[in-house]
Structure 1
């Protein structure tokens, strides 16, 4: 059945493609954060272990919301590691870095998600796609705040 929500098909596809990149970035960041939660060591173990758990739990909820928005726009959400790796600008973690490097990597990942969201905002705003704009605004707020909190751990 045809979708008639006031956004033409081409624009819906463009928005969904941008959201697919956001989904991929978010999922790879979720995986990286979960990995760090399991493998962090050092004097900040307990606080980082708990902080990383809060972050990956929040990301787990977010990926579902992003995927459901893609489906609401009439497109299929990507759902494989291979596809996420193709779409994401965040690289999977291959090693077990020290805690300081973990924090720095997560800051870069949080900021990468914000940048992807900002790119999609332009398309959604031009289409007056308020539900997507609302989702993107929420995601940017969460990721900017998380990056700030992580940066605070390594501030000199």
Structure 2
């Protein structure tokens, strides 16, 4: 068996039966994989800040970021499974995530806690906006199941934005 035949056979083994056209599958899987890469990037950044937060509000911020990280991570499996259900293939590696992610990493040795909260607030806000874009695509392609899932994730992201904004406020500002 040639390499080409083997690759064709392997690809056929992953073709999930779906009611979506090949174009819709391509578009939906592409949008969801990009979202999934962003979710993994945001999860790791949230955990990074959780592990490295310091200062007088350490306990509150540490617990908040741990809770938010768990919530973000909980979305990964359902998003990846939606990619498979619509007939696509999903992320396979950290490298794949790095190629698709739009949430920027933060590898700084030290980040001020207020800057952590602001950065995560902005990242969650951007994620919610990208989820809305994916939701519009789902509407166009008739993918009501993914659209419904995204509605809940948008609400969760907006709640994280709200909490990060309020936790990061100084005084009565």
Which position in structure 1 is the counterpart of 2:51? Answer: 38
TM-score of the aligned structures, taking structure 2 as reference length: 0.85
- Find the aligned partners of 2:168 and 2:30 in 1 and give their Cα distance: 35
Maintained 8 Å contact 2:18/2:85:
no
TM-score of the aligned structures, taking structure 1 as reference length: 0.94
Shift of 1:3: 4.9
Is 1:117 aligned to residue 137 of structure 2?
A: no
- Find the aligned partners of 1:130 and 1:145 in 2 and give their Cα distance: 23
Is 1:76 aligned to residue 89 of structure 2?
A: yes
Shift of 1:62: 0.6
* Unaligned segments of structure 2, at least 5 residues: 1-11
**Bigger CA radius of gyration:** 2
- CA distances 1:8-43 after superposition (whole Å, capped 9, x unpaired): 121011011000111011000000001111110001
Greater mean deviation of Cα atoms: 1-10 or 43-52:
1-10
Maintained 8 Å contact 2:39/2:76:
yes
Is 1:11 aligned to residue 48 of structure 2?
A: no
Q: Residues 20, 54 of structure 1: CA spacing in aligned structure 2 closer, same or farther, 3 A cutoff?
A: same
How many residues end up aligned between the 2 structures?
A: 156
* Unaligned segments of structure 1, at least 5 residues: none
- CA distances 1:114-156 after superposition (whole Å, capped 9, x unpaired): 1111111121101221111011111111001110111011232
Which position in structure 1 is the counterpart of 2:122? Answer: 108
